[in-house]
Amino acid sequence: MNLLVVGINHKSAPLELRERVCISKEEREFLIPVLQEKYFNECLIVTTCNRTEIYGITKRADTVPDQIIAELLQFKNASDIDRKYFFDYRNEEAVRHLFSVASGADSMVTGDIQILCQIKDAFHASMTLCAEGPFLKRLKQSTCRIGKRSRRETSISEGTVSVSYAAVELLHNSLGCLQNKTALLIGAGKTGRLTAKHLTAKGIGQLYLANRTASKADSIIEESGGTYVPFDELLTAVAKSDIVVTAVDCVSPIITRPMLEKIMMQRSDRTLYVVDIGLPRNIAPDATGVTNIRLWDMDALSEIVEHNRLQRLAEVKKVERIIDEEWAEFDAWENIHQVGPTIFDLNTLFEDIRQNEVTKYRHRFDEPERELVELITRRIVNKLLHKPMVNLKHDAGSALQHQHENSLRKLFELNRSGRN
């Protein structure tokens, strides 16, 4: 199938490297056409807060992962990052990896419910950019089904199921009761919406929501309550908050160390608790050294994540069985898809012969008879081809497949256009 995936994620690389190669939605629109032109017939880029993964059906069998990695690093101006932080898989391993990601089994927080939506968004982007062909279209169906089945048939998504939930759990464990606390949530995307929901469920005393676009914040405020803060009043809101959670899609930090130093001068000795779940990071990494600030980033959630992983180990086993079932079905489709061109070419040859002969003698029949001739000749062709087609599909994926295909192409002189 010539499927290749190269990627970097929370298992293969630290946060400071992951954020340097993170692909924004806007960048994806530029990168996919470049990859398609050079390397892939079909292309998919999955990018989340913990991973950047490029999937493609290669044009050439000798395309190597290092070529795609080099293209990505050049695109992100990060050529100094070592190859060792990337992983790559081909064909079955690549498909199974995507299935595992969609199920939530490969997420930093096992059972993450956001990942399936992000994968659907990635497939939609490929379709919009004309980078989705028959393979990715079929892979999309199987991947989405995996995500739905894993949530419906297992308990992998129960409990701590997202990074936003883990962030709120971390705050709750650190501060205890949140009912008398003021929280500022920066970002009104999917992660921000979930964070607001979890903060409300923990009984947060006062919730402020800052976002560049007020309309996006309004729907979250309707669901979870709270007060909107314009972005130009962000630092004032930080100064009067006990908790700050950032979840913004941005290319550089929105809050720097000098900003926080200025803010902390107004707070006396009152500690500010900050959780940065943005990627790239929303808070400058050197802000950890500011007095009376407790700052956690994505990697700091690892303790909660590990606890979560151990609790769901049995559920992952169940998900793996679902992946086995879906892979078997996908593999069967792929095998039939492989013999599809030969079946198409043989059908085309027989149909061309039929049409030519019917056209040659068409003048000998009146209109009702012509319709009958069409019907009869079509049925004859279908019956002649039925057994060869059935047997070719039956042997798809076996050692006999290529023998049969080669024999048919030689006997009927089939070329790539489907004509002899």
Tell me the two tokens of residue 309: 């992983």
Same domain, 52 and 197: no
In tens, the pLDDT along 71-118 reads: 999 999 999 999 999 999 999 999 999 999 999 899 887 778 788 999
The answer to whether residues 337 and 139 touch, using CB atoms and an 8 Å cutoff, is no
Same domain, 265 and 357: no
> What is residue 406's three-state secondary structure?
helix
Q: How many domains, the chain?
A: 3
For residue 18, what are the domain limits?
3-159
Same domain, 27 and 126: yes
Identify whether 86 is part of a domain: yes
pLDDT at residue 344 greater than cutoff 70? yes
Same domain, 398 and 251: no
Identify whether 182 is part of a domain: yes
Q: Give the pLDDT of residue 418.
A: 40
Identify whether 133 is part of a domain: yes
Q: Which of 23-32, 37-46, 275-284, 368-377 has the lowest mean pLDDT?
A: 368-377
SS3 content of the chain, % helix, strand, coil (to 5): 60, 15, 30
Q: Give the pLDDT of residue 40.
A: 97
Q: Give the pLDDT of residue 236.
A: 92
From the candidates 49, 117, 144, 177, give the one annotated as an active-site residue.
Answer: 49
Last residue of a domain, one of 299, 325, 345: 299
Q: Tell me what percent of the residues of the chain surpass a pLDDT of 90.
A: 53
Identify whether 97 is part of a domain: yes
Name the pLDDT band for 305 (thresholds 50, 70, 90): low
**Which stretches within 161-285 are classed as H helix?**
163-175, 190-201, 214-224, 234-239, 257-264
Residue 22 designated active-site = no
Same domain, 137 and 183: no
Q: Give the pLDDT of residue 146.
A: 94
Identify whether 329 is part of a domain: no
Same domain, 144 and 170: no
| d(C-alpha 245, C-alpha 166), whole Å | 12
Name the pLDDT band for 417 (thresholds 50, 70, 90): very low
Identify whether 234 is part of a domain: yes
Same domain, 144 and 168: no
Q: Mean pLDDT across the chain, nearest whole number?
A: 88
In tens, the pLDDT along 116-126 reads: 999 999 999 99
Identify whether 101 is part of a domain: yes
Same domain, 152 and 132: yes
> Residue 42 sits in a domain of what CATH number?
3.30.460.30
Same domain, 222 and 349: no
The answer to whether residues 420 and 346 touch, using CB atoms and an 8 Å cutoff, is no
Same domain, 231 and 357: no
Q: What is 325-371 written as a DSSP string? A: HHHHHHHHHHHHHHHHHHHHHHHHHHHHHHHHHHHHHGGGS-HHHHH
Same domain, 124 and 183: no
CB atoms within 10 A of CB 304: 18
Q: Minimal CA–CA distance to 208: which of 174, 255, 242, 175?
A: 242
> Residue 278 sits in a domain of what CATH number?
3.40.50.720
Same domain, 151 and 179: no
**Rounded (10°) angle between helices 65-75 and 25-38:** 140
| d(C-alpha 120, C-alpha 136), whole Å | 12
